[in-house]
Amino acid sequence: MNVFDMTINALHHALKDKKISSFEATGAMLARIESVEPQVHSFITVASEQALTAAGAADQRIASGDCGMLTGIPLAIKDIFLTEGIRTTCGSHILKNFMPPYSATSWEKLQERGAVLLGKLNQDEFAMGSSNESSAFGPCRNPWDTSRIPGGSSGGSAAAIAARQATATLGTDTGGSIRQPASHCGCVGLKPTYGRVSRYGVIAYASSLDQVGPLTRDVADCAVMLEAIAGHDPKDSTSVDTPVPDYSATLALGVKGIKIGLPKEYFIDGLDPDVQTSMQSAIETYRRLGAEFVDISLPHTDYAVATYYLIATAEASSNLARYDGVRFGHRSEQAEGLINMMTKTRSEGFGAEVKRRIMLGTYALSSGYYDAYYVKAQKVRTLIMNDFIRAFADVDVMLTPVAPTPAFKIGEKINDPLQMYLSDIFTIPVNLAGTCAISIPAGFSTDGLPIGLQLIGKPFGEVSILQAAYAFEQATEWHTRKAKI
Amino acid sequence: MKITIADVEHVARLARLELTDDEKNLFAGQMDAIIGYVEKIKELDTNGVMPTSHAVPMENAFREDEVRPSIGLEKALGNAPHRVGSFFKVPKVIE
Amino acid sequence: MNYQPVIGLEVHVQLKTDTKIFCGCSTQFGSEPNSQTCPVCLGLPGALPVLNKKVVEFAIKAGLSTNCSITPRSIFARKNYFYPDLPKGYQISQFEDPICQQGWLDIQVEGAELKRIGITRIHMEEDAGKLVHGDVSGLDDGSGVDLNRACTPLLEVVSEPDLRSSDEAVFYLKKLHQIVTWLGICDGNMEEGSFRCDANVSVMPIGSGTFGTRAEIKNVNSFKFVKQAIEYEIQRQIDLIEDGGTVVQETRLFDPNSGKTRSMRSKEEAHDYRYFPDPDLVPLVIGDDWVERTRQGLPELPEKRRLRFVTELGLPEYDAEVLTASRALAEYFEAGVEAYGNPKLVANWVMGEITRAINDSGTSIENCPVAPSQLADLLKMIDSGTISGKIAKTVFDGMWQSGKAPQAIVEEQGLVQVSDSTHIESIISEIMTANSGQVEEYRGGKEKVFGFFVGQVMKASRGKANPTVVNELLLKMLNG
């Protein structure tokens, strides 16, 4: 088996059994990256030298008997995570030469375990997007069909898994940005409960919605990654101080007797027929495995996208105010005087989608509109949260589609931002409610494009959704199919 | 049209963004469509509903008043577009 | 037409914590620019704020000391605007739910009644950095940004517009200044910017119920300048109105050199700060027990202590006022009273010799080399006759120089008072023999000459002779 086809589990055993060294594995990964990149463009920065150095150090650790699950494993992470000494751009021109003086906590945790960083992954600029088309460094392409989007904003994180350019990756999810690309690229993607993983060192888009999560080839790998990154961080006031369960230990408990909710608002007419088929087939599979289905309602679902695009853009407009050309990042050469310098810097540095969201958010917070838009949206958010709390009284997890259609073509929706926003309908409510969800491979369209299913769990119910995901995965073969690239 | 060019200019100014005339037109149309869509939340009765600022109920995250090492001048100024001594240099405010 | 000034004050109190409000960088003053910074206070991408608990404690103390109610659930908000000294492009402050609300301070200007000045709110916020212009080489055509000060904790104390004169304003400020320094939450150094005052000034015709338009005078950093600035502004507004003009709502700066306020040329439009709750910080919940614990731990505040000095210790108002100028001074005094007993005597020495020595040497009561217990010992030695009151001053000087106890000084310098009558008699005899002329004069009725003899005896005994005994014996022997 090629190194680049291995899961974390498989590669870990190969390293432990000295069948291969981390240096060799990393070298193989780097070669794979080089060969496939021209077609996929998953990476913004490939850090070959640093990766090989880290792999060498990992090999020494392994030789001394210290071989944890992630020691020597080559990973790549979204370019939204600060990595000390390695350029971090967040997919934006305004940070194209930014060299962070510190690293994100979630990356440090992986680094401490001896993981090797291959490079930084492509993404929509400042995580604003569902297609990776707004990256200042060029779009990322879906390895299953390179004329199509990989999804976004963590497009590179999902494409790198599908193209086998990294054993596992990290992404971020604010409105679906891990789950939707995972679905479009046929891999596993998990958005943990808000507060489960530290946001320190993650470039902020929408602070009350952003969450860090892993993208992997299978559910067992996902559990390994989550164990490593979850936990309280005193540097993040919004990180929660709850113990981290051993997610791997409980994976195989099965779903007999588990109550799975089917929110009727997510199974609408007009769902793509292939998505529809995959959902039906998945429901049958779960029934065979012993799960019970309960029809539930999340009545405020229809207002989720509107609520999200008010709250997220408002928070983003404030979070992006620090990009003013004073202390780091791009500074316009053209400007005269201070205000002009800031204005020109931002106008030159930000792309259209970012500008659009900054303006929307500024509008929603501005004098005269704050109550009608921002505060109102925060109240509707409460209603949406309450929908979930009520429904979870009757079910253990919920099952829904991830996206209304499989991956669309590059350029298809770029001129209609509202259409683009509406395609996040199934993933956004989870971020608003602050709870956890996972996307796993559940089928393919007639065109051979991956289709994922979403399992939504209760807050801090990652154990349950991982179990349910594992059971499904073990009973099906969707996750074993590989993109021909 | 609900969102006018003047609205776009006002908001752009608040956000320190400079737009070409074409951009202003484009954004005005797009923002109008988007705001028009998000207005649907006004249909909901939210009387007595508290706004949510945090998805998971948390309170009182503190640190102790203990000095931690600063990152040092080289790291602090390492990305400075324009540095003079240990200052970040910026153009004068033209009043 | 007669006008009534209306004044409201916003004071920014810089808190004396070791670290900044949202990060662990030191708050020490005067370091090399940008040497006390980290990703959080630099506003780097990905950085997040974490609240310094001590700032909350200080805020609660300030609130309790100004009769405010402490908000059980208070929220931090972002105040959004662009400026190079504001690294995140927003200031973390408090807007709708500040930590303290609805307090008051009583003031009493000379010749007037006691008056209550309302305090609308006290809230916590972070300070901005500093912009330096042109003085540093290389900055002549621009400005330099120094973020050492960025993220320093501030309390903003906002008064109701209850003040009606510059004297009232200064009284209020001095009282607030005394409280925050007394509590130990602020060093009170106005020159260094630890206590900054913005004054909102307007005028209205006397008898009118409607306030006039106000102008805000920003960042005045001494009581004297506050008085000047307010007085100038009041007159400026009156003159303007009488000339048919209207007062514009604007920000003004006070120029100490000219004694005038001038308009800060404002940006194109008024700021729309777009306040919203900061999603990176969680609500601050302060239960009754925390408030009570803090209340128990409060020192006795200056006003109460001053009252107690008068009513319980029997000191005159003037003494009480002087001795409560600072908490350290009041505590020194009280320690002295505890060790010695007679408040008036201790008061005299503290206000007298100790204050003189402090001023002469440029130090402070906190660094006084003479401990209250040592002062007490000195006073006891006077009482017991071991030394005279006059010699005590010499002993005191010795104590100040060396830090040693009075007993040691007296012994080392051999200053024990001589009270032995026989010894003094013999000194007197010698002097009388050597100065027979003056003896004649005295006996002839020139009583003033007595002083000469006293002086001689003191000189001969190097000041150590017990004055009472000297007087007694001299009288006896001169008079035959």
pLDDT, tens only, A86-130: 999 999 999 999 999 999 999 999 999 999 999 999 999 999 999
Task: Decide if pLDDT at B95 tops 70.
Answer: no
Average pLDDT over chain C reads 91
* 3 state DSSP class of A156: helix
Contact assignment for C25 to B72 by CB distance below 8 Å: no
CA distance linking residue A261 with residue C445, whole number of Å: 121
Q: Are strands A397-401 and A259-263 parallel, antiparallel or unpaired?
A: parallel
Q: Could you tell me if C79 and C151 lie in one domain?
A: yes
Domain co-membership, C324 together with C440: no
Do C352 and C428 reside in the same domain of the chain?
no
Residues in B 20-79 with any Cβ partner in A closer than 8 A = 23, 27, 30-31, 33-35, 37-42, 44, 46, 49-56, 58, 61, 63, 71, 75-76, 78-79
Distance CA A458, CA A460 (A): 6
Nearest to A342 among C80, C82, C279 (CB): C82
Which of C257, C290, C323 delimits the end of a domain? C290
Domain assignment present for residue C392? The answer is no
Give the SS3 label for residue A86. Answer: strand
Q: List the 69-88 stretch of B: residues with Cβ below 8 A of C.
A: 70-73, 76-77, 84-88
**Percent residues over pLDDT 90 in chain A:** 94
User: Which class is domain A3-253?
Assistant: alpha beta
Q: What are the tokens at A242? A: 């709850």
pTM here is 0.91
Mean pLDDT, range A146-169, rounded to an integer: 98
Please list every residue in chain A whose beta carbon sits closer than 8 Å to the beta carbon of residue C279.
206-208, 238, 315
Region C44-63: mean pLDDT is 98
Domain assignment present for residue C400? The answer is no
* Listed residues C290, C320, C346: the one ending a domain: C290
> Is C425 found in the same domain as C353?
no
Query: In chain A, how many H helices and how many E strands?
Result: 15, 11
What local confidence, expressed as pLDDT, does residue C267 receive? 47
A 10 A CB-CB count for A5 gives 13
Residue C453 is part of a domain; what is its CATH number? 1.10.10.410
- DSSP reduced 3-state for C102: strand
DSSP per residue, A48-82: HHHHHHHHHHHHHHHHTT---TTTT-EEEEETTB-
**Interface touch C19/B92, C-beta < 8 Å:** no
Q: Which residues of A are catalytic?
A: 78, 153, 177
Please report the pLDDT score of residue A335 as a whole number: 77
C333 and C209 in a common domain: no
Taking only Cα atoms into account, the Rg of chain B, rounded to an integer number of angstroms, comes to 23
Q: Does B86 touch chain A (CB under 8 A)?
A: no
Q: How far is CA B93 from the centre of its chain?
A: 21
Single out the residue in C336, C357, C384 at which a domain terminates.
C384
C69 inside domain: yes
In a domain, C407, yes or no: no
Domain ranges of chain A: 3-253
Name the nearest CA neighbour of A198 among A228, A218, A165.
A228
Looking at the complex, does the CB of residue B6 fall below 8 Å from at least one CB of chain A? no
For residue range C72-125, what is the model confidence (pLDDT) as tens digits? 999 999 999 999 999 999 999 999 999 999 999 999 898 899 999 999 999 999
Q: Which domain holds residue C338?
A: 300-384
pLDDT reported for residue A185 = 98
Is C60 part of any domain? yes
Q: Is C52 in the same domain as C188?
A: yes
Query: Maximum Cα–Cα distance for chain B, whole Å?
Result: 58
Same domain? For C133 and C215 the reply is yes
Which of C280, C282, C284 best probes binding to A when mutated, by most A CB atoms within 10 angstroms?
C280
What is residue C265's predicted lDDT score, i.e. its pLDDT? Answer: 62
C88 lies within 8 A of chain A by CB? yes
Q: Does C167 lie in the same domain as C49? A: yes
CA distance linking residue A228 with residue A372, whole number of Å: 42
pLDDT tens digits, A255-276: 999 999 999 999 988 899 999 9
C70 lies in the same domain as C208? yes
Which tokens hold the place of A221?
A: 């790998």
Is residue C333 domain-resident? yes
Is the pLDDT assigned to residue C268 strictly greater than 60? no
C305 and C280 both lie in a single domain: no
pLDDT at residue C82, rounded to an integer: 95
Both C341 and C467 in one domain: the answer is no
Position C150 in a domain: yes
Q: How many CB pairs under 8 A join B and C?
A: 125
pLDDT of residue C404: 87
Number of domains in chain C: 3
Phi/psi region, residue C446 (left: phi>0; alpha: psi -120 to 50; beta: rest), is: beta
Instruction: Count CB-CB contacts under 10 A for residue A220.
Output: 22
Query: Rounded CA gap, A138 and A141, in Å?
Result: 10
* More confident site: A335 or C331: C331
Please choose, from the candidates C301, C298, C467, C290, the residue with its C-alpha nearest in 3D space to the C-alpha of residue C385: C467
Residue B50 has pLDDT above 70, yes or no: yes
What is the rounded (10 degree) CA torsion for C406, C409, C414, C420? 0
pLDDT per residue as tens digits for the range B59-82? 999 999 999 999 999 999 999 999
| Cβ C49 vs Cβ C125: under 8 Å | no
Domain check: are C226 and C330 in the same one? Answer: no
Cβ contact, residue pair C53, B65, below 8 Å:
yes
Confidence of residue A393 (pLDDT cuts 50, 70, 90): very high
Q: What is the ipTM score, two decimals?
A: 0.96
Best to test chain A binding among B9, B18, B20, B71 (most A CBs inside 10 Å): B18
Question: Does C364 reside within a domain?
Answer: yes
